[in-house]
Amino acid sequence: MLNQYLKNLLKLHKSGDATEESYYPNLAKLFESFFDAKKIGKGTITILPKKKEGSKPDFVVRISKELIGYIEAKDFVKVPNLQSVDGTEQIERYKKEFDNFILTNFVDFWLWRKSEGKWINQVRILQPNIITQVKILTPAENKERCLNLFADFILFSIPERKTAKQLAIELATRAKRMREPLFEELTNDIETDVDEIYRAFKKYLMPDLNEKDFADIYAQTIAYGLFIARLQYKGERKNFSRTVARDLIPKNLKILRDTFSFVSRRDLTLNIDYIIDDIATVLAHCDIKRIKKDLHKEKGKDPIVHFYETFLIEYDPAKRKRMGEYYTPLQVVQYIVSSINILLKEKFNKELGFASKGVTLLDFASGTCTFPAQAIVQAKEEIDASNNPGSWLTAVKDHVLENFYGFEISMASWIIGHLKIALLLEDLGYKMENSDRFKLYLTNTLDFSDIQQEALPIISDLSTEAKNAGKVKKEKPILIITGNPPYSVSSSNVIKPGSELSDMYESYKEVVRKEEKNIQPLSDDYIKFIAFAHYKIKQAGKGIIGIITNNSYLDGLIHRDMRRKLTEDFEEIYILNLHGNSKHKEKTLEGGKDENVFNIQQGVSIILLAKL
C-alpha cells in the first residue's frame, strides 16, 4: 500500500510539472486503500476546491455521515520539513478549530489531537530528497507506525460536548468558517439557492444588506437552525445529520424550515457541505440532555442569552462587544416589567396585570425576547396568586400566544428568541405544539411598506412574515409597548413619508426645524422607536410605554418638541434617570464614578408613559 503510493509519488514528480494539487488524488487513493484494508464501510476522503490559499484544509474525511477529520497537505519540494510550517497562522488556526487533523507533505505525517493540545504522532515514510534525487525508490520506512497513525486518525472518537458553553464555542468555531464560502457563493456567476435567499432577505427585511453581511447572517442561521433541530431530535445520535434537520425544525418557523431546504440537500457545494456536516457531527455527539438542562431558566439568570453571548465571543468578538453594549440587564427588565404590571392594575383596572384579558404587548426591538419572557413570568405569578391558579395553560394558549408580540430584525436573535420563549414556557408547564407559535416577527419595526404576497418558498415565507408584522404595525391595537430600542445617531433607518408613524415622528421637529440649525441628532434610532411606540399607543387610545433608552431627550435643546408631544398625549409620565454619561463626567451622590448600566458613554433612563 505505502510502497505503491510512493511509486506513484515518484512518477508524478518525474513528470516535471507536478504541483501540490497533482499529488492529491494519489493521497486520496492511499486512504481509500486503507479504508478497504481495514474494512471500514462508507469511508470517504474528499478533495476540497480552493480559491484562497489557507482558507480551508485540502481534504475532508468522513465515515458514513460523520465528518471525523481533515488533512492539510504541503508540497514536499517546498516544505521538506513540516517543522517549518508548524506555528504558522494557518496551522495554528487549524489546531484551534479541528479536533482531529493530519498535516503532511506526502512523506511526513503528523497527527494533531485538539483534546490533548499536541501532535500525538509524527511519522516519516521517506526522506523527501530521495524522491527528488533518485530514479528508483527504496521501500517505505516506518510502515507499521504510519498505518497506526492512519488508524488513530480514522478511528477517532468524536468528543462529547457536555455543557451549553462548550457547545456554543464549538458551533461558533465552525460557523465562522462558513462565512467565506457563503460569500463566494453569492459573488460567483452561478445561481444557487443562497442567491435566492439573499435576494429575499434584501427585499423584505434589509434593503441595504450586502453579500458579506448576509453571509455572516446565514452562517449563524445555519448553526442555530441545526442546534434547534438537534434539540428536537429523539433518535439515535449516530443518525442525526444535516439531511434530517429540516424536518426537525418546528413547523411554525417556516422561514427557518425553508431556509433549511438548502442545508439539507445532498448536492451542496464542497466549499460549504463539509462545514455543515462538521456542525451536525458535533451536535450528534453532544450531551443533549445536559445541554437542555443548562438552557432552562434559572432564577436571576438568562442561560439562553449566556449561550448567545458565548457563541458571539468566539464567532465575532466585535459583534459581541456591540451586543454587550446594549443588552439589557435582567434587573432593569424586571424593574420595567413589574412597574408596567403595577400600572395595569392601578390605572387600567387589569386585576391580573399581564395575565388580564385584553392586555396586548409588543416588544418593538425584541433581541432575544428578554422583555416578553419577563412579562410571561409576571403573568404566571399573577395567575398562581389568583383564585384560579389552574388556568395557566389555558392562559398561555388563549392569551400569551395570541396577544404578546415581538419585532426583531436580526435572524440569529429571532431564532434565539423563539427558542427562549419555547424553553421558558416548558419551564412554566406549557409544552409548545407544532401548531403553536410565539408571535415574534422577523421584521424592521420602522418599515411600513405595503407587501405583495409571493409564491416561491423562502420569498413566500418572508413576505407572509412581513405582511403579518405589517398588520400589527398598522392595525392591531397594542396596550403595552416595551423594550430597549437601538441607539444610533447615524441611523440608516428611514421612515417613509405618508404613514401615521411618519406624521408622529415629524411632529417631534415642528418648531425646532425652523429655529435650530442642526437637528440631525433627532434622527437617532431610539427617537424613531419612541415615535413608533407613541403612534401605537395613540392609535389604541390608551396604553403604557415602558422602555429604557438614551436619555439625551430629557434636556436636549432640540428635543423640546418631542417632550411637548409626549406631555400632550400622556397623562402620567414616570422617569428614572440612570445617568452614566461619561462625557459629562457625572458623579454619584457620594462623589464616585457614575457607572452606566450599559458599556456606553451616553447616559440612559427608564421612562414609563401612561395614556389613560
Report the run of H or E that residue 405 belongs to, with start and end.
strand 404-408
C-alpha span between 252 and 232 (Å, rounded) = 14
Task: Output phi, psi for 468, to 5 deg.
Answer: -65, -40
In angstroms, the first-to-last Cα distance of the chain is 85
10 Å Cβ neighbour count for 505? 24
Q: How many residues appear in the chain?
A: 612
Contact 479, 510 (CB under 8 A): no
228's grid cell:
434547534
Domains and CATH numbers, the chain: 2-154 (3.90.1570), 164-319 (no CATH), 328-611 (3.40.50.150)
pLDDT for res 52: 67
| Ramachandran region, residue 429 (left: φ > 0; alpha: ψ -120 to 50; beta: rest) | left
- CB-based burial of residue 109 (10 Å sphere; 0-12 exposed, 13-18 middle, 19+ buried)? buried
Predicted pLDDT of residue 340:
98
Neighbours of 455 (CB within 10 A): 7
Phi, psi of 44 (to 5 degrees): -135, 145
The DSSP-derived string for 241-257 is: -HHHHGGGS-TT-HHHH
Task: Please give the pLDDT value at position 362.
Answer: 98
Residues of the chain with pLDDT under 70: 41, 51-54, 135, 266-267, 297-300, 320-326, 455-457
Cβ neighbours for 336, distance < 8 A, ≥ 6 positions apart: 371, 482, 546, 547, 548, 606, 608
* pTM for the structure as a whole: 0.87
CA distance 418 to 43: 38
What pLDDT is stored for residue 206 in this prediction? 86
- What integer pLDDT is reported at residue 214 of this predicted model? 93
Task: Name which of 206, 483, 533, 466 is nearest 366 in CA terms.
Answer: 483
